[in-house]
Amino acid sequence: MFQGESIESCLRSHPKEAAELEPLLRAALGFSWRASSLQPRPEFKARVRLRLEGARLYAKQQRQPEKPGFFARRRGWAFALTAALVILLTSTSTVAASSNALPDEPLYTVKLATEQAKLTFTFSDAGKAKLHTHLAENRALEIAAMAREGKIEQAAIITEKLAEHLEEANNAIQKVEITQSEASQFRTAPEETTATPEPETTEPEETTATPEPETTEPEETTAAPEPETTEPEEATATPEPKTTKNRKAEQLRQSLEESTSRSLAALENAREQAPERAKPALQRAIDTISEKSHKKPQQEPGTETEEGKDKHNGKHEDETQPTSTEPNKNQSSSQKIKNNPKK
């Protein structure tokens, strides 16, 4: 019957049971008809299609460079080693030039290799969190640039990378939180009973855990633990242990929030300028950022997405203005992409 056969012909096939069957068949057809009026929202359907397409292309891209051989088993290190070699063999000017490369440009692979090398040689969780935060923002700007040019496939692939960076940044921040709370328990446990909390003069796990190779590009390796140890006045100004305990993690989280706000602003801006067919790709990137950011407790990046609104009652803090007080090279390179989408 559901293949187009009429009720009458069904009943004719079962004459003895016809009287009993008829109301049931009509009821069944009625349920089916009623249910079919329910359709998914077209924009949701389009978004999932885009996401699947992005995931498929990304998986395909991931599979391609993997060739059997000695390095296949140690892919991470092999890739880092290759990246290091690329950096060594490539002139510094090429590496520098690649930092602004867009996904459709030949130098983009150098850019990715450089990033991968940095990630591999960043050992501290805080460093990783910073680096992934920065890379996520870079990816967002690349998506915006690709979408403006109508390169949807590229945008979809980079969106998957963006999601990975955000996830990694969140994971690293969580690890910092755990490490710090463990360290503070360890520190305070024996003498904590009477003493007023000591201002955190040092953050041992941070300083020891990061023997970063900062020598090459100190400004890009925001992963390094530099700024935190040089804030004694802020540390002494906070008398409560609870705030100092996870200060580092909070800073990282705030930095991530600020970064995602900037990314969202860039993507929303691009959405206004992008051709119509590229808009779903941008929406998908915006949703990805919202989705990943919402995982964190106090985060509410000011998104206007339907998904965000649906799920979270849309409590928007408009933090779209970049509030960073310490401009760095990362930002300026990102800015270049933003200002000059069509390189």
Partner 1 sequence: MSNEENIVRQAIDGNQLAFSQIYDEYFNKVYRYIYFRVNNQAEAEDLTQEVFIKALNAIGSYKQREAPFASWLFRIAHNQVIDHVRKQTKQKRAPLEEATAVSMEDPVAITEQKTEVEELTAALKKLPPAQQEVVSLRFIAGLHIAEVAKTLGKSEGTIKALQYNGTASLRKILVQKYNG
State yes or no: residue 178 binds partner 1 (CB under 8 A).
no
Q: Are 231 and 206 in contact (CB under 8 A)?
A: no
Burial class (CB in 10 A: 0-12, 13-18, 19+), 174: middle
What amino acid occupies position 192? E
- Per CB under 8 A, 75 contacts partner 1: no
Q: How far is CA 220 from CA 84, 132, 167, 244, 261, in A?
A: 15, 12, 20, 27, 20
| Candidate segments 30-38, 72-80, 133-141, 318-326, binder of partner 1 by CB under 8 A | 30-38
Query: With respect to partner 1, which residue has the nearer C-beta, 49 or 343?
Result: 49
The yes or no reply on residue 6 touching partner 1 (CB under 8 A) is no
- Member of 35, 88, 189, 195 binding partner 1 (CB under 8 A): 35
CA-nearest of 26, 34, 283 to 144 is: 283
Q: Is 316 helix (H, G, I), strand (E, B) or coil?
A: coil
Cα–Cα distance measured from residue 36 to residue 113, given in angstroms and rounded to the nearest whole number: 50
Number of residues that bind partner 1 (CB under 8 A): 31
315 lies in the binding site for partner 1 (CB under 8 A)? no
Nearer to partner 1, 11 or 209 (CB): 11
Please, what is the minimum distance in Å from the beta carbon of residue 315 to partner 1? Answer: 16
Q: What is the chain's Cα-based Rg?
A: 26
139 binds partner 1 (CB under 8 A): no
Which DSSP category does 276 fall into?
Answer: G
By CB under 8 A, residue 19 contacts partner 1: no
- Residue with smaller CB distance to partner 1, 53 or 250: 53
Cβ contact 85:54 at 8 Å: no
Contact status: 313 vs partner 1 (CB under 8 A): no
> Considering the rule CB under 8 A, would residue 78 count as an interface residue with partner 1?
no
Q: Give the footprint of partner 1 on residues 271-310 (CB under 8 A).
A: 307, 310
Is position 45 an interface residue for partner 1 (rule: CB under 8 A)? yes
**Burial of 38 from C-beta contacts in 10 A (0-12 / 13-18 / 19+):** exposed
Contact footprint for partner 1 (CB under 8 A): 2, 23-24, 27-28, 30-32, 34-42, 44-45, 48-49, 51-53, 55-56, 59-60, 307, 310-311
